[in-house]
Amino acid sequence: MLNRLLLSASVLGFAAGSALAADCQDVPSASQLKSFLTQAPGHKVPAGAVSAEAGGLFHGARMWGAVVNRDGEICAFATSTSDPTQVWPGSQAIAKAKAYTANAFSLDTLALSTALLYTFTQPGHSLWSLGQSNSFDPRFLASPGGQPGTSNRIAGGLIFFGGGVPLYSGGRIIGGLGISGDTSCTDHEIAKRVRDLAALNPPGGALADDITFTVPDGATPFTHPKCPNTWRNGLFLGNEAPASGY
């Protein structure tokens, strides 16, 4: 009898711990996320930026956003538009996977956006095939209207291009944010702005894990390719290179 009581107590304690671990109170809610998404195209990061232009195809105005907690569980997701069908349907899964990825590979002392993982995960580089380690679970997709039932679950998925950033509070990582619906460079711009609006930047500030390009930053293992109509921090940086050899 005593053993059964002890076992029951330990199970209840584990369940309580799991419930606490799944807490989403520290990250934006769906309504907050939607508000940040609608504000982001006009929000300047850094504050002294010359322009709020986000570039891309839609200037950051047609986005899916998703937030996970530190356990990687989906806490909230929303679109920036009143009609969710006017955002690419495929971007829902990408946004959720970006949020998971940014959280999964960041620490209190290391903010690692999905943009910074691009080169590492290309063929011939040290993290090639990392994407095969954790596939996205499509059971946790919602219809474009965003019906409930897909939150507080780990959908997984790994994405290694711009649009995913970790979230911080009090110098500690609390989760991740994923944005998708435009070019990956614009996705990163909007993710950076949403995080800034939410006041959940890493200790190094809003630009601590910013996207980098060969021009003007120089080639490094963290370099991301340019996209069509690439803007960063209020400056136009150019366009994706044209196709060659085919």
pTM greater than the 0.85 cutoff: yes
Per-position pLDDT tens, the chain of length 246: 434 433 343 333 333 333 334 489 999 999 999 999 999 999 999 999 999 999 999 999 999 999 999 999 999 999 999 999 999 999 999 999 999 999 999 999 999 999 999 999 999 999 898 888 888 888 888 876 655 545 667 888 999 999 999 999 999 999 999 999 999 999 999 999 999 999 999 999 999 999 999 999 999 999 999 999 999 999 999 999 999 899
- Which residues pair with residue 245 across a beta bridge? none
What sign results for the dihedral spanned by CA atoms 141, 145, 149, 150?
positive
pLDDT for 13 equals 36
**Domain spans, the chain:** 24-237
* Coil vs helix vs strand at 81: coil
Go through the chain and tell me how many residues it has. Answer: 246
* CATH number given to 24-237: 3.30.450.150
Rounded to whole angstroms, how far apart are CA atoms 124 and 122?
Answer: 6
Q: Which residues contact 125 (CB under 8 A, 6 or more apart)?
A: 119, 221
Tokens 């609390």, located at residue? 174
pLDDT for 19 equals 36
Rounded to whole angstroms, how far apart are CA atoms 203 and 4?
Answer: 47
Tokens 């903010």, located at residue? 111
Output the CA–CA distances (angstroms, integers) from residue 112 to 143, 155, 221, 226, in the order listed: 30, 20, 13, 19
Indicate the residue type of 142: A
